[in-house]
Amino acid sequence: MLTNEKYKEEALLQKTYTVDFLTKKRADNAGQVPQYYGEESHPAIIEKDMWEAVQLEMERRRGYCLEHGIQKFEYATANNPFAGRVICGNCGHIFGRKVWNSNDDRRRRIIWRCNDKYAIKGEKGCKSKHIDDGVLYQAFVGAFNAMIENKEYFLEKWQERLGRDNLLQRYKARQFIGIVTEAETIRDFDIEIYLAMVEKMTVYDGGRVVVSLLDGTGVECVIE
């Protein structure tokens, strides 16, 4: 559905062709016969701009996965919102979630560590340090509150993007304006806002975390 042009009031005709008229066998058309592209050929199910923005979003996600060496973008869940989205500022690899002292609830601790730190068994790779799970939650809260405290600056940035040719940037700008315009600062992590706005969180030594939004905007936090 997400890649089918028929949902935006258009149609590519003769994607397949008849190989054998007796058996009615058909095959994918790889140039054997002409193809025709029709616009406004039928009522649209979704807006054309929305369909085009989805194609750009799928392309962005493929690029993200290739850049960071993961299979898919949609690892994050309500119980593990940072899966696939915590990046090592030292080497660019994904951070993995680890549980320390998992057999003792009193000492149980969740941390995130670069997956390239021990890529080869017995040998140290990336020299970056681990980060506590709670710090990532704190970093998002801090980044979001920084946006709210500087609301006019961010709203002006997104308003400017409403006039750009890139449909995905326009869509994200409208979405972010809708979220931030009436928002207040938060005390606790909000999973819905996080998933709607954040692409990744890049962790640097020294307590620096850069929260990158889905429109490319970066908000830096220093956690002491």
pLDDT in tens, 210-220: 999 998 899 99
What's residue 7's pLDDT? 45
Could you tell me if 147 and 202 lie in one domain?
Answer: yes
Domain that holds residue 60: 5-65
Q: Last residue of some domain: 39, 65, 91?
A: 65
CB 56 within 8 A of CB 48: no
What contacts 195, CB < 8 A, 6 or more positions away? 76, 81
Model confidence band, residue 35 (pLDDT cutoffs 50, 70, 90): low
What's residue 12's pLDDT? 45
Could you tell me if 154 and 113 lie in one domain?
Answer: yes
How large is the average pLDDT for residues 83-105?
Answer: 87
Could you tell me if 125 and 40 lie in one domain?
Answer: no
Could you tell me if 82 and 179 lie in one domain?
Answer: yes
Q: Last residue of some domain: 19, 36, 65?
A: 65
What's residue 38's pLDDT? 45
How large is the average pLDDT for residues 14-37?
Answer: 58
33 or 200: which leads in pLDDT = 200
What's residue 37's pLDDT? 40
Could you tell me if 139 and 86 lie in one domain?
Answer: yes
- Token pair of 111 as six digits: 């941390």
What contacts 162, CB < 8 A, 6 or more positions away? 170, 173, 174
How large is the average pLDDT for residues 45-60?
Answer: 77
How many domains are contained in the chain? 2
How large is the average pLDDT for residues 9-36?
Answer: 57
How large is the average pLDDT for residues 114-131?
Answer: 84
Could you tell me if 94 and 59 lie in one domain?
Answer: no
- Which contacts qualify for 193-198: CB closer than 8 Å, 24 or more apart? 193/144, 194/81, 194/140, 195/76, 195/81, 197/144, 198/85, 198/140
Sheet containing strand 198-204, edge to edge, reads: 86-88, 198-204, 208-213, 218-222
pLDDT at 115 over 60: yes
What's residue 179's pLDDT? 96
